[in-house]
Amino acid sequence: MTTQLADSEQTTALAALTELLSCHFAEAIESADDTGKFSIGFRLHFDRSNTPTKLKVISRISKTFTDEIETLVPDPNQPNLL
């Protein structure tokens, strides 16, 4: 594993996490229990069996709502084709 690839995977994962958090944070607040507690869980799956790496990010809000993003991670070691 190259450091460049790992950096690219992490950057892509953080962007997907940020997108899901921004999109569903208000819904998470609305799902709070009587004490005001709520949860948001994230799961990340990296599939390196193909190039580029396939990334799937799943979010779950208080066990009632699930959303996911599936994307490809650009490989910094591969040239971009136009």
Averaged pLDDT of the chain: 86
Which residue shows structure tokens 């009632």? 64
Tell me the residue type at 33.
Answer: D
Considering the entire predicted model, what is its pTM? 0.73
Cα–Cα distance, 51 to 43 (Å, whole number) = 21
Which pLDDT tens digit goes with each residue over 41-56? 899 999 999 888 999 9
* Chain centroid offset of residue 75 CA: 17
